[in-house]
Amino acid sequence: MSQQVSGVLSNLERVLLDADEIQARVAALGQTVGADFAGNELTVVVLLDGALFFVADLVRQIDLPVRLYSLTVSSYHGGMVSTGQVEMAPKFPFDLKGRHVLLVDDILDTGLTLSSVIDKLQEAGPPASLKTAVLLRKDRQREREVAADYVGFDIADEFVVGYGMDYQGHYRNLPCIGILNPS
């Protein structure tokens, strides 16, 4: 729930999601994923850096054999607005052919990041199945339509920090997710 904050969190205008809410929702998502993929091995591909804490909490709730790979992808370059240019390694450094893949990102915003990674992943050799999980889905018009299969929270179109998400490299270590004070 939204609330005013002070002290160590005073750079936040408000907390959007507190640590308990995030932990409870991520645990529930992980259990749903585990049930949906029951009987299979799951290959999780996480997009860093923003989804670092999300994936760490999520995979520990999935009671299945899991392989975890990461890709570093960037479209914000430290600011508050997407540049529209998604930068990532030219080739996947791992083989996803025939695997059940869960692609994990922190936020679905313009849709450019997930759609670029999905295109590349399909080019590299089709997985047996491909699902996407995002912690946050922003309520806005997408530049590329992407269906997220697992969504933690739907939020308004505001810039958020905390729980892995940053502004100019700061605030990733906040256990909550909040809106920065404009000043």
116 DSSP 8-state letter: H
Contact with ligand XMP (CB under 6 A) among 30, 50, 127, 178: 50
Helix (H, G, I), strand (E, B) or coil at 133: strand
Cα(61)–Cα(178) distance, integer angstroms: 24
> Hunting for tokens 């450019």 — which residue is that?
112
Q: How far is the CB of 107 from ligand XMP (least distance, A)?
A: 4
Q: How far is the CB of 75 from ligand XMP (least distance, A)?
A: 5
Just list the catalytic residues: 109
Q: Does residue 117 bind ligand XMP (CB under 6 A)?
A: no
Contact with ligand XMP (CB under 6 A) among 22, 45, 71, 109: 109
Hey, how many other C-beta atoms are within 10 angstroms of the C-beta on 182?
5
Q: Phi and psi for 68 in degrees, rounded to 5?
A: -125, 125
Pick 56 or 128: Cβ nearer ligand XMP: 56
Q: How far is the CB of 38 from ligand XMP (least distance, A)?
A: 28
Cα(168)–Cα(180) distance, integer angstroms: 12
Q: Please give the residue ranges that form the binding site for ligand XMP (CB under 6 A).
A: 47, 50, 75-76, 82, 105-113, 159-161, 165-166
